[in-house]
């Protein structure tokens, strides 16, 4: 059965943190849906426009194995400000699906929802002050704790994407993709 991922884009998303997981997941044979929060044409933090496959409102009733939340500001803040995003992410957590957040998204989206309580996580340097005292902050580039995959910043986007594939499709597949893209 084909694994399914959703990557949610809000205005001001960090471009590399969105595109890299989409690319690596698709190379692994994952069916990736790019969902725009408020529109199908979404502008990233560096001005790159990406046309989403669907609006998030059209996708929330579908089943996904992983939800990817790119960081970037104001992208992560825009995600956090959406009741639809918050309800969707909470539902993914309740159903023990993988939630992958990078850069500002762990601190700005996941922490306020309580999804990091008693977990080990990382985020963009200097944003860990948004973690409550129960969160064990790590400075590792990528941290996997149960169904949560968190990562630090744009420079960790490739490692973040491999960690998602590893958890979703297995180490053999992530090693195959790693070898193909790293040479």
Q: Would you name the residues annotated as active-site residues?
A: 103
Give the contacts of 128 (CB within 8 A, at least 6 positions apart).
Answer: 107, 122, 137
Instruction: Give which of 10, 52, 27 is closest to 168, Cα–Cα.
Output: 27
Taking the CB of residue 11, how many other CB atoms lie within 10 A of it? Answer: 18
Beta-bridge partner residues of 80? none
């Amino acid at each position: 059965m084909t694994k399914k991922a959703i990557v949610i884009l809000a205005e001001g998303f960090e471009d590399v943190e969105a595109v890299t997981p989409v690319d690596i997941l698709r190379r692994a044979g994952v069916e990736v849906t790019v969902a725009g929060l408020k529109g199908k044409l979404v502008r990233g933090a560096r001005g790159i426009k990406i046309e989403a496959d669907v609006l998030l409102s059209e996708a929330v009733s579908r089943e996904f194995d992983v939800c990817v939340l790119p960081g970037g500001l104001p992208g992560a803040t825009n995600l956090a400000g959406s009741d639809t995003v918050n309800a969707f992410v909470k539902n993914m957590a309740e159903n023990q699906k993988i939630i992958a957040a990078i850069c500002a998204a762990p601190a700005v989206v996941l922490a306020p929802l309580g999804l990091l309580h008693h977990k080990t996580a990382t985020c963009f340097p200097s944003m860990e002050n948004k973690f409550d005292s129960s969160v064990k902050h790590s400075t590792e580039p990528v941290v996997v704790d149960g169904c949560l995959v968190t990562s630090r910043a744009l420079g960790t986007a490739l490692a973040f994407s491999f960690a998602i594939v590893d958890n979703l499709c297995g180490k053999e597949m992530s090693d195959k993709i790693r070898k193909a893209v790293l040479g």
